[in-house]
Amino acid sequence: MKRRIMPLVLSAYFVLFIIFVVLLAYFWNRDSKTPVQPINFSHQIHVSKVGLQCTFCHDKVDKSTFAGIPPVQKCMSCHKNVKTESPEIQKLTRYWEEKKPVPWKRVYSFKIQNYVYFSHKRHIKAGLDCSKCHGEVKLMPQMKRVRQLEMGWCVSCHKANMAPTDCVTCHK
């Protein structure tokens, strides 16, 4: 009897862990996978090739809590004439003609968005480089999330930079 039970117990034990790993993979990173955007916009082309600064499009980043997504009008100020033959620019033109904003999918957000106060302006004024939180965006053909923005990470960066670590700094 024992001769048969032990192999079964061993099999069940390993199958259980395989199921755990499969479940982990299934739920892995669900809220932070790279979203499929309505237009295949490349930061790499606009920053590394054309030479635009981050603030050229995200012009609210040093003035407001939010970095801001540029309005279609801003894109069209160049793309009325540039790359008009590209299908992606034609998609952009359609939004412009229909007077609709591009429904960009959010890449970065806090897991508990309503409980965290974060100001882009304050971090930019403190001299923090965009890449500290967003990675090397200038090299990304497709914008992807490279930091999880978890509390422990924020706190260790605050400590390392002698920034306040009181609860009320982020949780108003």
Q: Which is nearer to other proteins, 50 or 104 (CB)?
A: 50
Nearest approach, Cβ of 160 to other proteins (angstroms)?
5
Map tokens 């480089």 to a residue.
129
Nearest approach, Cβ of 136 to other proteins (angstroms)?
5
Q: Which is nearer to other proteins, 16 or 103 (CB)?
A: 16
Amino acid 58 reads H
Helix ranges (H only) for 44-128 are: 54-57, 72-79, 87-97, 120-125
Region of 53 (left: φ > 0; alpha: ψ -120 to 50; beta: rest) is beta
Up-side HSE of residue 148: CA atoms within 13 Å toward CB?
9
Q: Which is nearer to other proteins, 34 or 37 (CB)?
A: 34
Nearest approach, Cβ of 134 to other proteins (angstroms)?
10
Q: Which is nearer to other proteins, 160 or 172 (CB)?
A: 160
Instruction: Please give the structure tokens belonging to residue 171.
Output: 């949780």
In sequence order, the 6+-apart residues with CB closer than 8 A to the CB of 102 are 38, 39, 72, 75, 92, 95
Region of 99 (left: φ > 0; alpha: ψ -120 to 50; beta: rest) is left
Nearest approach, Cβ of 50 to other proteins (angstroms)?
6
Which residues are at the interface with other proteins (CB under 8 A)? 3, 6-7, 10-11, 13-14, 17-18, 20-22, 24-25, 28-29, 32, 48, 50-53, 56, 74, 77-78, 80-82, 132, 135-136, 139, 145-148, 153, 156-157, 160
Nearest approach, Cβ of 80 to other proteins (angstroms)?
8
Q: Which is nearer to other proteins, 55 or 169 (CB)?
A: 55
